[in-house]
Amino acid sequence: MNQPLLEAINLSRTYKLAKGSAGKGKAFRHALIEMNLSINTGDRIGIVGESGSGKTTLVRLLLGLDTPTSGSVEFKGQALISGKMPWLRKDVQIVFQDPRSSLDPRMKISEIIREPLVCLGIDEDHDARIDEVLDSVGLERAMRDRYPHELSGGQRQRVAIARALAPRPGVLIADEPVSALDVLVRDQILELIAQLTDKLGLTLILVSHDLSVIARLCNRVIVMKDGAVVESGNTREVFDRPAHEFTRALIGAIPRLPESL
Amino acid sequence: MKKAMKGNISLITGSVMVAITFSLLILSFIWTPHDPLEVTPDDSFAGISSKHFLGADKLGRDILSQIIVGSRVTLLVAALAVTIAMTLGVSAGITIAVASRKLQAPMVYAVNIALAFPAALLAIILAAVYGASTLTAVSAIGLATAAAVAQVTRRTAYGILASDYVLAAHACGASTWRIIRKHVMPNLRASLLIQASAVVSVSVLAESSLSYLGLGTPPPAPSWGRMLAGSQQYIFVNPLLAIWPGIAIVIVVLGFNLVGDGVREVFDPTLRRSDS
Amino acid sequence: MSLLEVHNLTIAFGDKKVVDSISFTLEKGSRIGLIGESGSGKSMTSLAIMGLLPDTATVSGSITFEGQELIGLSDREHSHLRGNRMGMVFQEPLTALNPLMRIGKQIAGPLMIHKGASLKDALGSALELCTKVGLPDPDRVLRAYPHQLSGGQRQRIGLAIALACEPALLIADEPTTALDVTVQREVLNLINTLVDQEGSSLVFVTHDLPVVSIMTENIAVMQLGQIVENATVASLFHAPKHEYSQRLINAARVAEDAFSGTGGIK
């Protein structure tokens, strides 16, 4: 049997809430409950859910940026531990939601993209690689010496994508990559992610609350609610024939445009 | 726009005041109207005259000369106290911020206790043990303000560590040390400059108070604080004696405060990033 | 006489114009949507109507509301209208509400200020308003603090405060952007119903074309401080005149087609 590329096994994450916020004693919030998920090479998985559904917690656990309360995450059969884990980071990279906050305001674009190359000890000419990824995300090489605040929202997100792609990962996780962007810019960034996924043969994990974003990029979808999966399957099938009540509510809530001629 | 302008005005005014102080310091090594320690009984309580531009004290020592030379103590104290407070405070603040949850609590308590410890008491203890000197005053001031610096640094660093770009750096495989060096320090810079300027003001005032109490620079070396103390008896007879060192202290303290304010207005990203 | 007439409104910060000579009118009981991306000036326009622009803004042109010129009105005079004749719902209800005040008093506030109601009467009306905006267990809600409520509930409170004095005009500035999709739909439906019920006029500010198309009958498309097109929803979608409106509509259509399976990137 083929081993999955990235696997979540009975993954749970519980947060301790501050005392007093919910009466006496210790209060807990179960952000993720006994989640099982396996992702194979080449998959394009969409994770959809509302706030508090556990999707961001899941992303952090998959990246080893957080420690599960119970259960485990395995990448190529190796369990994630806390720490630097260069073997994981070289292969699994992330694009965050808001490039205004995910790029250090005091760093030049070139330094930002250089960070993973330096930290992961990537053995190639860093400057050449920076130019290369800038080209592939459609930014001018002259942007190298700019600071994030000199760029537009869309350009900043391109920088974030460039940083993620710099160490040549096999898996790209995008956590709400377009929801902080203007409507017209969203299209361009989605187009770019789709194009790069194809060209580089990436495994894509896309987290979004927007069903149309998932529909455009993913062949599989997982619908999450309150820390658990309520429905999963082929994107088209789930969206066309939602089995779970919550999925139907999500779909029904989308405002439809007036019919065109 | 308006706020940035206002920041520049504080920055300019403050810089001018600080520059005046530094000019006095340089001048003290080149020229003073008289030997500041020269006692001339004939000039006791001399008023403003062409011989003594700012008058003379009870012993007939020239006030202007004393003020010029007194800038040395003041700025030495400020420089040393800032160095002590910032080095200790910033390293402690960042250490606490990156420490694990379990270690954080006791360290925060330690800082709080240090915060509650009055500088004057520390100075008295140090003076009792080592004898009152500029150095004991500086150490007391530096140690006492370090706790405040640690507190502010910890909070600011905590915010930076919780930011998305630090999370992104973790995802890039960055080590804690690299995150401190490349992300925390550069983003702390504005806050550190402001704190440093505040520490300068506080330490100048504290040195003056300690000298006034006899816990600072011992006589005969002129110090603004002691000049103020010495003039106390004659305040109604000869108020100018208290006014001159008072003005000197105000200029330094206000100057560094205004610089700090100006720096904040210029650096504050919430004021600068008004495009969204 | 129209309820609201905006004529050649220009708002500038220093020499940077954020709203550039825009004009539109709103009849009593009708609705208009202001749509645009960040930096289009849509929010500045709504703040200008409410008299909530920062002091650093220079405003010229004219805004008449119920026959009264609003530009040049002192803050004190404007505050007689705010929360009274015109109400506003903000994007992030958590920051728009006072975190240290119980919900009841916050809803009662405008009634006491503008209608001279006693605290007891105002709290009574607040209870009714809570029921009206569909909050379960209104007694508990009135005693709660903002942080004890969910985002959707807080936005309902925001709506209750805005509607407390039965305003002639409701301004909603991205009222559902911070909410989940399912909650967004509920809040939109609620705004729809209440505005109809009260016979208020509505200015709906948003970046989201599908949302505005179900909320208003007219849409003013804003770009870089200007209204590039002002049309009915039907004519905008059937025959957009401006290239920018066309692009916004295309983007929305691509998303919708992708979702319904008739399009998509792959």
The pLDDT value recorded for residue B276 is 34
pLDDT at B6 over 70: no
Q: Which two structure tokens, joined as six digits, stand for A31? A: 């952000």
Q: Average of pLDDT values for B107-135?
A: 85
Angle at B163 between CA B159 and CA B165, to 5 degrees: 140
**Cα(C222)–Cα(C212) distance, rounded to whole angstroms?**
13
Give the gap in angstroms from C-alpha A47 to the nearest C-alpha of chain C.
15
**Cα(B272)–Cα(C99) distance, rounded to whole angstroms?**
27
Give the gap in angstroms from C-alpha B276 to the nearest C-alpha of chain A.
10
pLDDT at B46 over 90: no
When comparing pLDDT for B273 and C99, which is higher? C99
The pLDDT value recorded for residue C93 is 77
pLDDT at B272 over 80: no
pLDDT tens digit sequence for A157-214: 999 999 999 999 999 999 999 988 988 899 999 999 999 999 999 999 999 999 999 9
CA-based nearest residue in chain C for residue A186: C251
Q: Which single residue is written with the structure tokens 């020229």?
A: B31
Chain A residues whose C-beta is within 8 A of a chain C C-beta are 50-51, 153, 182-184, 186-187, 190-191, 194, 209-213, 215-217, 219, 236, 239-240, 249-250, 252-258, 260-261
pLDDT at C78 over 60: yes
CB within 8 Å: A115 and B169: yes
The CB density around residue A192, as the number of other CB atoms within 10 Å, is 18
* CA-based nearest residue to B37, from B56, B15, B13, B9: B56
The pLDDT value recorded for residue B124 is 85
Looking at beta carbons, which residues of chain A come within 8 Å of B186? 104, 106-107
- The interface pTM score, or ipTM, of the predicted complex is 0.90
C154-176 residues labelled b (16+ CB within 10 A) or e (exposed):
bbbbbbbbbbbbebbbbbbbbbb
When comparing pLDDT for C222 and B220, which is higher? C222
pLDDT at B200 over 50: yes
Q: Which two structure tokens, joined as six digits, stand for C21? A: 């000579």
pLDDT at B264 over 80: no
The pLDDT value recorded for residue B260 is 84
SS3 C202: strand
SS3 C12: strand
Half-sphere exposure of B98 (CA within 13 A, CB side): 16
Q: pTM (2 decimals)?
A: 0.84
pLDDT at C150 over 60: yes
C14 touches chain B (CB under 8 A): yes
CB B242 within 8 A of CB B232: yes
pLDDT at A118 over 60: yes
CB within 8 Å: C259 and A212: yes
**Torsion-angle region of A50 (φ positive above 0: left; ψ -120 to 50: alpha; else: beta):** beta
The pLDDT value recorded for residue C264 is 44
Range in A192-196, C222-226, C262-266 with the lowest mean pLDDT: C262-266
Give the gap in angstroms from C-alpha B275 to the nearest C-alpha of chain C.
8
**Cα(C50)–Cα(C35) distance, rounded to whole angstroms?**
18
Q: Average of pLDDT values for B116-136?
A: 84
The pLDDT value recorded for residue C265 is 43
Residues with Cβ within 8 Å of residue C109, at least 6 apart in sequence: C83, C122, C161
Q: How confident is the model at residue A223 (pLDDT cuts 50, 70, 90)?
A: very high
Q: Average of pLDDT values for A250-257?
A: 88
Pick from B1, B2, B276: which is nearest to C38 by CB? B276
Chain A residues whose C-beta is within 8 A of a chain B C-beta are 63, 65, 84-86, 89-90, 93-94, 96-98, 100-107, 111, 115-116, 119-120, 149, 160, 163, 167
When comparing pLDDT for C45 and B269, which is higher? C45
**Cα(B214)–Cα(B137) distance, rounded to whole angstroms?**
10
CB within 8 Å: A94 and B186: no
Pick from C38, C39, C56: which is nearest to B2 by CB? C56
Terminal C-alpha separation, chain A: 52
* CA-based nearest residue to B128, from B213, B32, B196: B213
The DSSP letter of residue B42 is G
What percentage of chain A exceeds 70 in pLDDT?
95
When comparing pLDDT for B208 and C207, which is higher? C207
pLDDT at A23 over 60: no
Looking at beta carbons, which residues of chain B come within 8 Å of A119? 169, 172-175, 178
Q: Which domains does chain C have, with CATH numbers?
A: 4-260 (3.40.50.300)
What percentage of chain A exceeds 90 in pLDDT?
75
The pLDDT value recorded for residue A43 is 94
> Which residues on adjacent β-strands are paired with residue C231?
C219
pLDDT at B144 over 80: yes
Q: Which domains does chain B have, with CATH numbers?
A: 2-272 (1.10.3720.10)
CB B214 within 8 A of CB B208: no
CB within 8 Å: B182 and A115: yes
pLDDT tens digit sequence for A30-64: 899 999 999 999 999 999 998 888 998 999 999 99
Q: Which two structure tokens, joined as six digits, stand for C143? A: 């005693």
Q: Mean of the per-residue pLDDT values for chain C?
A: 89
Q: Average of pLDDT values for C131-155?
A: 87
Pick from A93, A111, A149: which is nearest to B273 by CB? A149
Q: Average of pLDDT values for B49-63?
A: 74
**Cα(B188)–Cα(B159) distance, rounded to whole angstroms?**
10
The pLDDT value recorded for residue C266 is 40
pLDDT at A20 over 60: no
CB within 8 Å: C14 and B1: yes
pLDDT at A140 over 80: yes
pLDDT at C128 over 50: yes
Q: Average of pLDDT values for C118-144?
A: 87
pLDDT at A22 over 80: no
CB within 8 Å: B1 and C38: no
SS3 A71: strand
The pLDDT value recorded for residue B271 is 47
Q: Mean of the per-residue pLDDT values for chain B?
A: 83
pLDDT at B4 over 60: no
User: In angstroms, what is the C-alpha Rg of chain A?
Assistant: 19
pLDDT at A1 over 80: no
Pick from A240, A253, A260: which is nearest to C181 by CB? A253
